[in-house]
Amino acid sequence: MPKSKSRNKAKSRSASQRYQLHPDRKQKHKPSSKWYGGLILGLMGLGVVIIVTNYMQVLPGTSLGAKPLYLFIGLGMILVGFVGTTRWR
Protein backbone atom coordinates (compact mmCIF):
# COMPACT_ATOMS: atom_id res chain seq x y z
CA MET A 1 0.00 0.00 0.00
CA PRO A 2 1.47 3.41 -0.95
CA LYS A 3 2.17 5.98 1.74
CA SER A 4 0.03 9.09 1.73
CA LYS A 5 1.70 12.43 1.61
CA SER A 6 1.64 14.05 5.00
CA ARG A 7 2.92 17.30 6.36
CA ASN A 8 6.37 17.42 7.67
CA LYS A 9 5.84 17.98 11.39
CA ALA A 10 9.30 19.45 11.85
CA LYS A 11 8.45 22.33 9.51
CA SER A 12 4.99 23.07 10.87
CA ARG A 13 4.50 26.25 12.81
CA SER A 14 3.35 26.49 16.37
CA ALA A 15 -0.35 26.93 17.10
CA SER A 16 0.05 30.63 17.95
CA GLN A 17 1.61 31.43 14.57
CA ARG A 18 -0.71 29.35 12.43
CA TYR A 19 -3.54 31.13 10.61
CA GLN A 20 -2.72 34.44 12.28
CA LEU A 21 -4.55 37.33 10.70
CA HIS A 22 -3.25 40.80 11.28
CA PRO A 23 -6.09 43.11 12.32
CA ASP A 24 -6.38 46.49 10.69
CA ARG A 25 -4.61 49.02 12.83
CA LYS A 26 -6.72 52.03 13.70
CA GLN A 27 -5.01 55.33 13.31
CA LYS A 28 -4.84 57.26 16.54
CA HIS A 29 -6.37 60.69 16.27
CA LYS A 30 -4.68 63.72 17.71
CA PRO A 31 -6.32 65.15 20.81
CA SER A 32 -8.36 68.29 20.31
CA SER A 33 -6.90 71.70 21.01
CA LYS A 34 -7.39 73.14 24.48
CA TRP A 35 -9.62 75.93 23.17
CA TYR A 36 -12.00 73.52 21.42
CA GLY A 37 -13.86 72.49 24.58
CA GLY A 38 -14.38 76.12 25.54
CA LEU A 39 -15.67 76.91 22.07
CA ILE A 40 -18.23 74.10 22.27
CA LEU A 41 -19.46 75.16 25.71
CA GLY A 42 -19.50 78.80 24.62
CA LEU A 43 -21.66 78.07 21.57
CA MET A 44 -24.13 76.01 23.56
CA GLY A 45 -24.24 78.58 26.38
CA LEU A 46 -24.73 81.49 23.98
CA GLY A 47 -27.55 79.58 22.28
CA VAL A 48 -29.32 79.15 25.62
CA VAL A 49 -28.80 82.84 26.48
CA ILE A 50 -30.29 83.92 23.12
CA ILE A 51 -33.37 81.74 23.65
CA VAL A 52 -33.90 82.94 27.22
CA THR A 53 -33.44 86.63 26.36
CA ASN A 54 -35.80 86.18 23.41
CA TYR A 55 -38.59 85.07 25.72
CA MET A 56 -37.72 87.80 28.24
CA GLN A 57 -38.21 90.26 25.34
CA VAL A 58 -34.80 91.86 25.83
CA LEU A 59 -33.50 91.38 22.29
CA PRO A 60 -34.21 93.98 19.59
CA GLY A 61 -37.59 93.57 17.91
CA THR A 62 -39.11 91.43 20.68
CA SER A 63 -41.07 94.19 22.42
CA LEU A 64 -44.35 92.77 21.07
CA GLY A 65 -43.45 89.12 21.66
CA ALA A 66 -40.83 86.47 21.09
CA LYS A 67 -39.50 86.12 17.55
CA PRO A 68 -39.07 82.66 16.03
CA LEU A 69 -35.89 83.81 14.28
CA TYR A 70 -34.06 84.17 17.59
CA LEU A 71 -35.34 80.77 18.67
CA PHE A 72 -33.93 79.14 15.52
CA ILE A 73 -30.62 80.97 15.90
CA GLY A 74 -30.31 79.79 19.51
CA LEU A 75 -31.26 76.21 18.66
CA GLY A 76 -28.84 76.25 15.73
CA MET A 77 -25.98 77.32 18.00
CA ILE A 78 -26.85 74.57 20.48
CA LEU A 79 -26.95 72.05 17.63
CA VAL A 80 -23.56 73.15 16.28
CA GLY A 81 -22.13 72.82 19.79
CA PHE A 82 -23.62 69.36 20.19
CA VAL A 83 -22.23 68.20 16.84
CA GLY A 84 -18.87 69.61 17.92
CA THR A 85 -18.92 67.43 21.04
CA THR A 86 -19.08 64.32 18.88
CA ARG A 87 -15.76 65.31 17.28
CA TRP A 88 -14.02 66.19 20.57
CA ARG A 89 -11.12 63.93 21.48
| pLDDT one-digit tens code per residue, 49-83 | 999 999 999 999 888 999 999 999 999 999 999 99
Q: How far is CA 20 from the centre of its chain?
A: 32
CA distance linking residue 60 with residue 66, whole number of Å = 10
pLDDT tier for residue 14 given thresholds of 50, 70 and 90: low
CA distance linking residue 82 with residue 45, whole number of Å = 11
Taking residue 9's Cβ as centre, other Cβ atoms within 10 Å add up to 6
Entry pTM: 0.67
Dihedral of CA 41/47/53/58: which sign? positive
Is the pLDDT at 6 greater than 60, yes or no? yes
Is the pLDDT at 10 greater than 60, yes or no? no
Percent of the chain with pLDDT over 70: 82
